[in-house]
Structure 1
């Protein structure tokens, strides 16, 4: 199997090995055997929503092997998604968001949402 870091966007990919190491050290799972909504990274660098289920299939400690099942969630052309850090920095956008704002996903990463939003007062002028 392959490490999933190439299939998930930063900062999730950056911390993946840390999450696995934490599980190996403590034995306390955080996402094992749960189905949760997550994001996957498309080869064109935009993200899309998926359902993710991760199961441990064999091994002990550092020899553990995991399997993830990913199911794409249906997308709506009427909904654009943008994932933002608490600081306001954009970490991921979906294809609809990219289309609506006419930016490539990689051009938005690390920028601030406030840079894309026009103040209400300016709209009224």
Structure 2
């Protein structure tokens, strides 16, 4: 299981939910969990189940980059479809070229977001 600080987890023994506030990646693989109403609990990773992953809120910068990628992908799709049309391709080939150009840029953006995302530690 991969956890990050901020994930919401549940203790399988007594079904208490809490937030991960620390990880020990040593030999013992312990997780420090904040439980409402109590201070903290230190539990082994195998006694936990993930309820909700932590995700950083999107900033204005992230939104602007996403918008720029969508606009760039639409322009690339148009250029690809228009190029196929000029070469005498059918509408099916134009659609395939447009879809390929759009999905190529979209895939690169999604991989970048995934690589720059929250770091997770195996416990």
**TM-score when scaled to structure 2?**
0.24
Report which of the two has the higher share of helix.
2
**TM-score when scaled to structure 1?**
0.23
Higher Rg: 2
